[in-house]
Structure 1
Amino acid sequence: MALLITRRLKERGRRYDNLRRIRALDPRTDHDEILRLTARHEFPWDYVQGTGIAFMRDYGVPSISRLLHRTAEFEQHGMKRYDDTILIGQEATVDGIDSERGHAAVRRLNQIHGHYDIPDDELAYVLATTIVGPVRWISAYGWRPLDPHELVAIERVTTRFGELMGIKGLPSTYDGYLQLLLDFERTHFAPDPANTALAEASIEIARAVAPLPVRPLLRRVTIALMDEPLREALGLPEQPRWFVSLVRRGLRLRGRALRFAPPRREPYFHRAATYPDGHRLRDLGPLSMLDALNAHDRADERQARA
């Protein structure tokens, strides 16, 4: 027993090792390393949940949801669409946003987007959701607050991602992205049948990969975690106040309990149900586009060798 207590005390002492490492780094130049520590070691589950809420915010904008609904990707290949979205973001950042692997992933995303007429302000808004979603989640339910170095690093990677997508005039601070998101939603959030259809399809995807005991309540829990403007824009039913409070308090208690957990030793990577044996970049994208996307990549490779 004494040995176990000693071991736990040592683990507790290491709980803030990553934070000390983050504070010793320069977020302007070491942003990739800070993001790796934050998203893959310190808050892996929270980062994924915040990203999931970010996806939902996109559906609150009818012009975005109608386009996504027309593609029928969520209804016909919902799990692949979800996995591919996560994996492209992972590919873009795992070796650093300006690595060869990172550039290849963003190039792939640009090729997919190139098949559609997407206004720049919508692209900027979707990008803003990918930073605001995780930061808000961790602020509400994480085991510790995010450090200012982490906020700067996340903003730097997000902005560079957007620059590689060709988006102009992006913010240079987290607060700037938050204001962009708030302003856009104030003008563009509105109920639409396509919003609701995509939200329900996404909840079904989440239910399919959730642990069995969680599945019966997953839809209600997901709605309980939404702010009112988002819930109303998605056309989802209001949940009882006691239930919303219970869900949110439960998540805050989880965060407090994690303060006593040992730091994660291995980095977290998304386990894609679509690719149980692993994926390649050439696998990612709508099935209807894969042949054209991969032919374009082969042409680029031949030109690079010439």
Structure 2
Amino acid sequence: MGRYDNLRKIEQLDPVKDRSEIVKIMVSYEFPWDFQRSYIELAFVRAFASPRIAGLVAKRGYTKAHTQKRYDDSSILMFEIIKYGYDSEKGRACIERMNYIHGHFPINNQDFIYGIATFILEPIYWNDRFGWRRMSEKERLAWLNFCLEIGKRMKIENLPDSLEEMEHFKQEYEDKYIYKSPATKELYELFVNLISNWFPLVPKRLVELVFRCIIDERSLKAFEKKAPHPAVKSFVEFCLHARAWVLSYLPARTRSGLFVDRPSRSYPANDYDVTKLGPPDENLKKKVSV
């Protein structure tokens, strides 16, 4: 299979009518590793830089006690929708479960929109910087339309309906609501600890240093962390660019690299039930306010 065969197939599809098919090809076969980094990890980090969002998550205590499971459960719910589509039985079950979980949090609609904005924009930013190729215009539009449809099914109101409007909303939100707080710092530390556990032979300070190289400066300030030395950041970026260059010369994937198509740390046998993912009811029913 040629390196650009998937892209040629995508370019024959419609970014509105065929958005689910385009997204599945793009995330499962073209950029699976990149979407795991951007759609899950960096998008969550961006959201955790908001004290309003971080405060709700931190006060529950579930993420602190079950960080790896929280990461895996969120990844499964979001990637199952991509694998099966939001109109499938599994896709509907995932959205229903997310709505049930979020329904126990007093989440502001603006915070919901910001969350969707990070999910839409972070993968585009990442691929522009570190992907083996940039997303095509059809891929960007399909990704936008796919995420907007999920947002609508999550009952999020007044969603910006273009990438430009989404970017404008994101900038305005960050100007107002991204700043340091105890909750943002706590969630940053939890995330660094999580990633460090994946690399037990690597010193935690080194893991965090690399992590800081790919986080934006505004979020770093909210987490009360300094930007890395420019030389260190340049080296990390060089490594990511080298990875992209190598990938551009490799054959196209023939097996899905999607998170749900391989064992996870919390579910090595993939024996999960999407209707039971996330915090248990006793945690969800705690009274929480920011």
Task: Say yes or no: TM over 0.5.
Answer: yes
Would you say the 8 A contact 2:109–2:156 is kept in 1? yes
Unaligned runs of 5+ in 2: 286-290
Would you say the 8 A contact 1:92–1:104 is kept in 2? no
Write the mapping of 1:90-169 to structure 2, written as runs, cut at 5 A. Answer: 90-169=79-158
User: 2, 19, 23: which is aligned to 2:7?
Assistant: 19
Assess, with a 3 A threshold, how the Cα gap between structure 1 residues 187 and 219 changes in structure 2: closer, same or farther. same
Would you say the 8 A contact 1:106–1:164 is kept in 2? yes
Corresponding residue SS for 1:79? helix
Write the mapping of 1:158-237 to structure 2, written as runs, cut at 5 A. Answer: 158-210=147-199, 212-213=201-202, 217-237=206-226
Shift in Å, 1:42? 0.4
State the distance in 2 between where 1:212 and 1:47 align.
25
State the distance in 1 between where 2:201 and 2:150 align.
36
User: 31, 37, 41: which is aligned to 1:43?
Assistant: 31
Would you say the 8 A contact 2:47–2:53 is kept in 1? yes
Aligned counterpart, 1:266: 255
Aligned counterpart, 1:252: 241
Would you say the 8 A contact 2:213–2:233 is kept in 1? yes
Amino acid at match of 1:140: R
Aligned counterpart, 1:7: none
Corresponding residue SS for 1:111? helix
Superimposed CA distance per residue, residues 78-118 of structure 1 (whole angstroms, 9 cap, x where no aligned partner): 01111111111012221112222211111100000111111
Residue 284 (1) aligns with residue 277 (2): yes
Superimposed CA distance per residue, residues 267-299 of structure 1 (whole angstroms, 9 cap, x where no aligned partner): 12213211111112133011345999xxxxxxx
Superimposed CA distance per residue, residues 219-265 of structure 1 (whole angstroms, 9 cap, x where no aligned partner): 11011111111111111233111101111121112111111011110
Would you say the 8 A contact 1:62–1:194 is kept in 2? yes
Superimposed CA distance per residue, residues 193-224 of structure 1 (whole angstroms, 9 cap, x where no aligned partner): 11111011011112222474586621110111
Amino acid at match of 2:31: F
RMSD value, Cα: 1.8
State the distance in 1 between where 2:223 and 2:38 align.
17
Corresponding residue SS for 1:94? helix
Corresponding residue SS for 1:20? helix
State the distance in 2 between where 1:184 and 1:44 align.
29
Assess, with a 3 A threshold, how the Cα gap between structure 1 residues 175 and 283 changes in structure 2: closer, same or farther. same
Corresponding residue SS for 2:114? helix
Seq. identity, %: 30
State the distance in 1 between where 2:244 and 2:32 align.
12
Assess, with a 3 A threshold, how the Cα gap between structure 1 residues 65 and 282 changes in structure 2: closer, same or farther. same
Segment drifting more, 270-279 vs 203-212: 203-212
Would you say the 8 A contact 2:23–2:143 is kept in 1? yes
Superimposed CA distance per residue, residues 57-83 of structure 1 (whole angstroms, 9 cap, x where no aligned partner): 111111111111101122100011111
Aligned counterpart, 1:32: 20
Corresponding residue SS for 1:144? coil
User: 67, 87, 92: which is aligned to 1:78?
Assistant: 67
State the distance in 2 between where 1:246 and 1:72 align.
36
Amino acid at match of 1:29: K
Amino acid at match of 1:49: R
Would you say the 8 A contact 2:196–2:202 is kept in 1? no
The TM-score with structure 1 as length reference comes to 0.87
State the distance in 2 between where 1:214 and 1:253 align.
23
Segment drifting more, 203-212 vs 87-96: 203-212
Shift in Å, 1:175? 2.3
Segment drifting more, 106-115 vs 212-221: 212-221
The TM-score with structure 2 as length reference comes to 0.92
State the distance in 1 between where 2:63 and 2:193 align.
10
Segment drifting more, 214-223 vs 63-72: 214-223
Assess, with a 3 A threshold, how the Cα gap between structure 1 residues 79 and 62 changes in structure 2: closer, same or farther. same
Amino acid at match of 2:148: T
Would you say the 8 A contact 1:57–1:230 is kept in 2? yes
Higher helix share: 1
